[in-house]
Amino acid sequence: MTVPSQGPLRRILIVGGGTAGWMAACALNQAVRAGGTRVELVESDAIGTVGVGEATVPPIRQFNQDIGLDEATFIKATQGTFKLGIEFQDWRATGTRFFHGFGDYIVNAGPFSTLNHWLVARDLVGEAAGDFDAYHMAAVMARAGRFAAPDNDPRSPYYYFNYAFHFDAGLYARLLRTKAEAEGVTRHEGRIVATDLHPETGHIRSVRLDDGRDLSADLFIDCSGFIALLADKALGERFIDYGHWLPVDRAWAVPCASVGPPSPYTRATALEAGWQWRIPLQHRTGNGYVFSTAHVTEDAARARLLANLDGQALDEPRLLRFRTGRRERFWARNCVAIGLSSGFVEPLESTSISLIQGGITRLISLLPDLSFNPGLAAEYNRVQALEFDRIRDFIILHYALTQRDDTAFWRERRGMALPDTLAYRIETFRETGHVVLLNEETFVAPSWQALFIGLGLIPKRRDPLMAAQRREEIIETLRLRRTSLASAAQRLPTHAAFLARLGMTE
Ligand code: FAD
């Protein structure tokens, strides 16, 4: 029997230099360099990266902070803007809209949640209770085109919201590359043409470049994008397809000229066979139509996108092909797949980069030594799979509750069978108003509430404790909250003025 080697990893090789590769390079290098482990990265300029204009969720703030990337520097270098959430147009039915804001609804409503108050007020006064969005500071600020950082004081109206960013992913990868190289990461340029596996253990020994060089390592991180050079091509790790729930499989992406100041939110508009994103950057607006080729041709989708832009197209639309799903095992043998090689869920809630971040953070906390204890990979795979599947459920929810029946795409979405985990969450909310939550989810109760209510799912039950509240008081409390949030938003700078204060041009 061979005794497993001991001791720390000597070399980690990251395959791929897109957003995933350079995020992994920065964070891993900072974690392991003191222990003497070298981090290297190989990428091919000729192949390039996905990098369309991108939107994120709030945890990216923590990632940047952890790697020592100052927010103003980041915004400036990536043409970034601030994102308070996503406005969904035409999802429940054409002509409807709702906002999924980051952070929480204003919760200082005594012991009861904003949702409990709002439901009772709605029973009493109908539409006069206002939209549920009107009680979320992020939504109110976004619609007023305002932005400022949150306050630390829970008594402040600016306490409950959170934010993320829109940015040019290509510029972000470039910024991270400069930082990683300055901190000691070695970059190799070249195209990988072969992979060599250890005949006994099946571990990857090295990758061969087109110029004949071999790059060996103890641990390989597959950040090669959809091609999944190591996880799929070399190791044949199984892919679990989500396509029967999420049939979109293509996107046309095109930047257009900005027609006004950048809005501090993403817009996702439901179209006939998918949906369109609008992501404002400082210098342009990113747009894309994510669609299902079973329901619309590529040509028709391209024309639809071009007809639906705010400003003049700045480039030819670019077609991206993808498959929705995830690896069964993200970490197999001595290789961990992170980024598009590990799986992909359509970018409706901007979750890919947060899955990358989660993967990197988890890998650092479960970092193997040369013995590669299998328990580490098992735990990594368990949690990463949960993360993917929960995000999958959250994305399916956007379609599952639609009332649209104007095209085959939407009629099929209305009637589709759901994953049991999602069916249970929907049923529990419908019957009780309670959001089922599991540990450490990316999306917590306010996000699920925003979607349920925004898509028209009003729970049947009211909290019995609300019966003790005077009706007039409930209505008056909500009215005051609504007006105070609206006026608090107006006291903030515009998003453009806030960017200008950071040194960006107004
Ligand atoms: P890639 O960017 O594809 O990088 C792959 C790397 O591998 C490249 O450096 C390439 O050179 C290298 N490589 C490949 N083959 C070889 C080879 N043979 N030899 C050497 N090197 C090789 N995410 C979000 O968080 N928010 C969004 O709004 C968002 N929108 C998206 C919209 C669309 C339509 C798509 C498809 C994705 C979107 N994503 C979004 C996902 C996001 O783009 C990716 O998760 C992110 O860019 C990471 O990609 P990656 O680094 O895994 O792969």
Map out the domains of the chain with their CATH numbers: 11-81+167-240+325-390 (3.50.50.60)
Annotated binding-site positions for FAD: 17-20, 340, 353
User: Cα(120)–Cα(99) distance, rounded to whole angstroms?
Assistant: 21
Pocket of ligand 1, candidates 340, 354, 356, 360: which has the most ligand atoms within 8 Å of its Cβ, to mutate?
A: 340
Which atom of ligand 1 lies at the shortest distance from residue 190's CA? Answer: 20
Q: To the nearest 10°, the Cα dihedral for 420, 423, 425, 429? A: -160
Residue 226: the pLDDT is 97
Closest CA to ligand 1's atom 32? 347
User: Cα(222)–Cα(429) distance, rounded to whole angstroms?
Assistant: 39
Closest CA to ligand 1's atom 31? 347
Query: CB count, 10 Å around CB of 319?
Result: 12
Annotated binding-site positions: 17-20, 83, 340, 349, 353
Per DSSP bridges, beta strands 343-344 and 325-327 are antiparallel
| Gap from CA of 253 to ligand 1 centroid (Å) | 14
Closest CA to ligand 1's atom 38? 347
User: Cα(359)–Cα(340) distance, rounded to whole angstroms?
Assistant: 12
- Name the strand (E) or helix (H) holding 424: helix 420-432
Q: What is the amino acid identity at position 351?
A: T
Distances, alpha carbon 222 to alpha carbons 196, 230, 343, 505, in Å: 14, 6, 12, 38
Q: To the nearest 10°, the Cα dihedral for 429, 248, 337, 330? A: 50
Residue 56: the pLDDT is 97
Residue 50: the pLDDT is 84
Which atom of ligand 1 lies at the shortest distance from residue 21's CA? Answer: 51
Catalytic residues: 83
Pocket of ligand 1, candidates 23, 40, 43, 336: which has the most ligand atoms within 8 Å of its Cβ, to mutate?
A: 43
Query: Where does ligand 1 bind, in terms of residues with CB under 6 Å?
Result: 16-21, 42-44, 47-52, 54-56, 169, 191-192, 223-225, 227, 229, 251, 253, 288, 320, 322, 339-340, 347, 350, 352-353
CA 57, 60, 63: angle at the middle one, nearest 5? 160
Residue 1: the pLDDT is 47
Q: To the nearest 10°, the Cα dihedral for 131, 134, 140, 144? A: 60
Residue 505: the pLDDT is 57
Contacts of 3 (CB under 8 A, 6+ apart): none
Residue 466: the pLDDT is 87
| Gap from CA of 22 to ligand 1 centroid (Å) | 11
> Which regions of the chain are under pLDDT 50?
1, 506
pTM > 0.90 = yes
- On whether the CB atoms of residues 398 and 245 are closer than 8 A, the answer is no
Cα 367 from chain centroid (whole Å): 24
Taking each helix axis as running N to C, give the angle between helix 471-490 and helix 114-125, from 0 to 180 degrees, rounded to the nearest 10.
110
| Gap from CA of 48 to ligand 1 centroid (Å) | 9
| Gap from CA of 230 to ligand 1 centroid (Å) | 15
Largest CA distance in the chain: 79
Residue 110: the pLDDT is 59
Closest CA to ligand 1's atom 3? 225
What ipTM did this prediction achieve?
Answer: 0.99
Residue 181: the pLDDT is 98
